[in-house]
Amino acid sequence: MSLKILDTCVNCDVCEPVCPNKAISLGEEYYVIDPSLCTECIGHYDQPQCVEVCPVECILIDPEHTETHEQLEQKYQHLMAKDNA
């Protein structure tokens, strides 16, 4: 599953630099996560790094983008192959 940043985000800018897939960017009002790039850090870390560093705990699983662990691993493999091409 992709993660989602809620509108309670305070734009503290700690999540964006820790995302290994560059899935987090500043939206119109607060940070957003691109579901096509989010692997919940599978392939990089044991835990989603944005969730680990968020001081207001506003990053949750996005119910609109459900993916299995295997699908997230496949997405990670695809993203890494794309980066190495």
Total H helices, total E strands in the chain: 3, 4
pLDDT band for 12, please (50, 70, 90 cuts): very high
Euclidean distance between CA atoms 31 and 29, whole angstroms: 7
Euclidean distance between CA atoms 71 and 67, whole angstroms: 6
What DSSP assignment string belongs to 32-56?
A: EE-TTT--TTTTT-SS-HHHHH-TT
Question: Looking at the predicted structure, is the pLDDT value of residue 50 above 80?
Answer: yes
pLDDT of the residue at 83: 78
Q: pLDDT by residue (tens digit) across 13-22?
A: 999 999 999 9
- Tell me what the pLDDT averaged over the chain comes to: 95
pLDDT of the residue at 67: 93
pTM for the model: 0.91
Largest interatomic CA distance in the chain: 38
